[in-house]
Structure 1
Amino acid sequence: MKEGSLDAPIRHPIDWRSDGFYDEEALDAELRRVFDICHGCRRCFNLCDSFPTLFDMVDESPGEDVESLESESFKAVVDACTLCDMCFMVKCPYVPPHEFDLDFPHLMLRYRAVEHRKGETGLADRELAKTDRNGKLGTLLNDVANWATQESNGLTRGVMQATLGIDKRAHLPGFAEVPLTRAVANRIPAPNAQAPGFGRKVALYATCYGNFNDQTPGEAAIKVLAHNGVEVRVEHPQCCAMPKLENGDLAAVADAAEQVAAWFAPLIDQGYDIVPLTTSCALMLKFEWPLLHPGNAAVKRLSEHTYDLSQYVVALSKEAGLVPIDAMPASIGVHFACHSRAQNMGPKAMEMLRLIPGATPALTERCSGHGGKWGIMAENFETGVKVGRPAAGALAKTDPDYMVSECPLAGPHLQQVMKLSGSEKVPERIGHPIEIMARAYGFED
């Protein structure tokens, strides 16, 4: 058997509609096949906690092999997976088209889909995945919601840990007063008609986080794009359903894909490119949805017209050019978020920030340890901090003027990791790289 392949990795459509996908005997056999390959390879030992968990179980088993493991023990491996895709994208030599045909993240997803069909998804996971509902309530009652979710609020955070299992120490995002779609409805600037990018059009997909929680990247993106001649509008039809994907609720994800694709179809017809404000959402639109709907033309077309935010700015600079940027001598620590890496487009944040004269960005390619809603749970919080320490240390190593991450959850988590690790200098904010571009153009607010 050859190791590795010279061919580009490919992913198979997810056969979530077939009964065989949920067959527990077939699933167990596939878990054992894949785990045996992983046990013999072990290149992923330093990624997420799934692999050390698996390897420790094998090493401590009577026969020191996968065959000796009880099937019930596999759940610990699955629960430790954050679906970051790093094992598939950067480590595994046996992904398709290799004959071993190994896709570890999608195998974990299949296990969770079986659990979900059996009604075994936990209450907290189900409720936290209702991001649009939570966002609407959070903005409506933002004063109360932000008070209740502060780490310093021992009363409410203690109750949340006892009832929902959310660690009372974990940072939780605050809520804006109104959704981004409403906040910018009447104040999106007209595109700069003198800019080389004039005539292009972008529909910013606000995403749940960008719409209800942290609106700074959205505000910055609007200013940067309009200044460069791009006509901008902000849309949020509904959540991309990434949290429900993490739960294995594939029917709900597929439903969201159909509805969002239908929403954006007329805009694509009008010449708009679709640019999500969050990397995880860009990953869903570009890659995960087409695997759930391999025959859906609208989903495929949306995938083909979707750009990650940094990717779009870089493409704009290459294809049309940007309005000149004043020199901004600054060192920038750039966290390469997992769901940016999983889009297989290269470190576009680095490319974008290098467009700023005088800027010196430096890349950190380590997981933050947050993993969506995974990292806020009491059983995972300590592991999330442990996994995030190397990234936090590398990011702060040169004491940069700014630190950024394209993942809106990774930034605050890395701040918290720095605080818990006793770092002398913790930045006030680890925001999106587009915020640095906006600052370079003179947009301070």
Structure 2
Amino acid sequence: MDIGGTKDFEFNIRDPKFLDEQALWEEAKRVYSKCKDCRMCVTYCPSFPALFDAVDRHDDDIEKLSKEELALPLELCFHCKQCYFKCPYTPPHEWRIDFPHLSLRYKVWKFKNKGAKLIDRLMVNTDLVGKLSVPFAGIVNKLNNTKPVRVILENFMGIDRRAKLPPINSQTLVDWYKENRKPVKGENGKIALFSTCLFNYNYLEKGIALLRVLEKNDLWVEIPEVQCCGIPFFDVGDIDTVIEKAKHNVKVLKSYVSAGYDIVVPVPTCALQIKYEYPLLLPEDPDAKLVSEKVFDVHEYLWKLKEKGRLNQDFR
């Protein structure tokens, strides 16, 4: 992805053909016809091996792919967007290969036409799961490490029993900061920290460490009451919920941007979502673009301080 510039993404939810099944499969075939002859992305994620295996089974003939074979690579994409770094044909190239947004388009079409399992919709609702789990963190963390519970989770929720589950915080990062913030002058800048679900509900110690680094650098930090960035809902194609969360977060963050705050995000996926996806999801809202222009990954933000000679590196 061209992090520093503008990418003309292939994603327009207002296109009359956006949810047309025939148009979707034709676009998939067009993209696949380019990908099968390139294959630079074969090691990036499961999507591309699935595509190339299917093409090879049919002697390189895209037209012979079944709907299931066309759909599988799009199902397997989890929107990390690393293929943007490798693919030579992303927009503005004339071929306009944009695999993650093609995958999202397919999942939105699937959700609109077939819906999603209740358990899948629950699993992507990180705000709900987090808020319900934090008050019972001790119990949940113990149960999540017992064999019987892991067997149940595998059989009923599809979570492999060998997978390492993130711990649940005993309190949210937002609540911890209200009680433990340190006084700083803020002469190095003002930050609205987008806490993210991972830090707010799962990795409190990492969140505390981050806040201490920011305080050590004399940055005034506020933690807005935001919702999940919405990207987990991409997995099931629930675009309406993503848009609702985008609207809420843009409204909240706009007030901070107007007050001179930079928006710093400690999870790259969430940063990409706010910076690049929100303007696509809310094309008629100028505030979405205004907010996106003030979003920084935390490493990017600290590096900018270093380049200005203002990063405090006096660590033990």
TM-score by structure 2 length?
Answer: 0.93
Contact 1:9/1:96 (<8 A) preserved: no
1:321 counterpart = 2:314: no
**Which residue in 1 is equivalent to 2:200?**
211
Query: 2-side partners of 1:266 and 1:59: how far apart?
Result: 53
The offset of 1:324, in angstroms, is 4.6
Select which of 214, 218, 222 maps to 1:233. 222
CA gap 1:101/1:169 in 2 versus in 1, 3 angstroms = same
Give the alignment partner of residue 82 of structure 1, picking from 70, 78, 101. Answer: 78
Q: Is the 8 A contact 2:10 2:98 kept in 1?
A: no
Aligned pairs (5 A) from 1:284-433: 284-319=273-308, 321-325=310-314
Q: Is the 8 A contact 2:51 2:73 kept in 1?
A: yes
CA distance, structure 2, for counterparts of residue 47 and residue 256 of structure 1: 29
Aligned partners of 1:203 and 1:274 also within 8 Å: yes
Dislocated runs of 4+, deviation >4 Å: none
Q: Which residue of 1 is the match for residue 39 of structure 2?
A: 42
Report the equivalent of 1:138: 133
Distance change >3 Å, CA 47–CA 199, structure 1 → 2: closer
Letter in 2 for 1:80: L
Instruction: Give percent identity, aligned residues only.
Output: 34
Q: Measure the CA separation in 1 of the matches of 2:56 and 2:127.
A: 44
The one-letter amino acid paired with 1:54 is L
1:178 corresponding residue in structure 2 = 171
Inter-CA distance 48–199: structure 2 relative to 1 (3 Å threshold): closer
Report the Cα offset of residue 285 of structure 1: 0.8
Q: Is the 8 A contact 1:207 1:240 kept in 2?
A: yes
Output aligned runs, 1:96-135, within 5 Å: 96-135=91-130
In structure 1, the partner of 2:23 is 26
Amino acid at match of 1:244: F
Q: Is the 8 A contact 1:139 1:212 kept in 2?
A: yes
Query: Following TM superposition, by how much is the alpha carbon of 1:13 offset from its aligned partner in structure 2, in angstroms?
Result: 6.1
Deviation of 1:146 after TM superposition, in Å, equals 0.8
SS in 1 for 2:37: helix
Question: Hey, what does 1:358 align to over in structure 2?
Answer: none
> What stretches of structure 2 of length at least 5 have no aligned partner?
none
Deviation, 1:320, is 5.4
| Residue 40 of structure 1, CA deviation | 1.5
* C-alpha spacing 1:245/1:105, structure 2 compared with 1 (3 Å): same
Count matched residues.
312
User: Which residue matches 1:148?
Assistant: 143
- C-alpha spacing 1:57/1:138, structure 2 compared with 1 (3 Å): same
Cα displacement (A) at 1:265: 1.5
- Give me the whole-angstrom Cα distance separating, in 2, the residues matched to 1:121 and 1:319: 49
Q: SS at 1:307's partner residue?
A: strand
Work out which of the residue numbers 86, 89, 94 in structure 2 matches 1:91.
Answer: 86
Partner SS for 2:116: coil
Q: Give the stretch that moved more between structures: 181-190 or 13-22.
A: 13-22
Between 301-310 and 244-253, report the one with greater CA deviation. 244-253
How do 1:149-298 and structure 2 match up within 5 A? 149-150=144-145, 153-191=146-184, 193=185, 198-298=187-287
Shift of 1:317: 2.1
Letter in 1 for 2:63: E
Distance (Å, rounded) in 1 between the aligned partners of 2:89 and 2:266? 32
State the alpha-carbon separation in 1 of the partners of residues 225 and 255 from structure 2. 14
Give TM-score scaled by structure 1 length.
Answer: 0.67
RMSD: 1.7
In 2, the alpha carbon distance for the partners of 1:148 and 1:118 equals 36
Matched residues in 1 for 2:161 and 2:43: separation? 27
SS of residue paired to 1:20: coil
SS of structure 2 residue aligned to 1:166: coil
Q: Which residue of 2 aligns with 1:66?
A: 62
Residue of structure 2 in register with 1:384 after alignment: none
Deviates more, 1:116-125 or 1:180-189: 116-125
C-alpha deviation, 1:148, in angstroms: 2.1
CA drift at 1:290: 1.1
SS of 2:179's equivalent?
coil
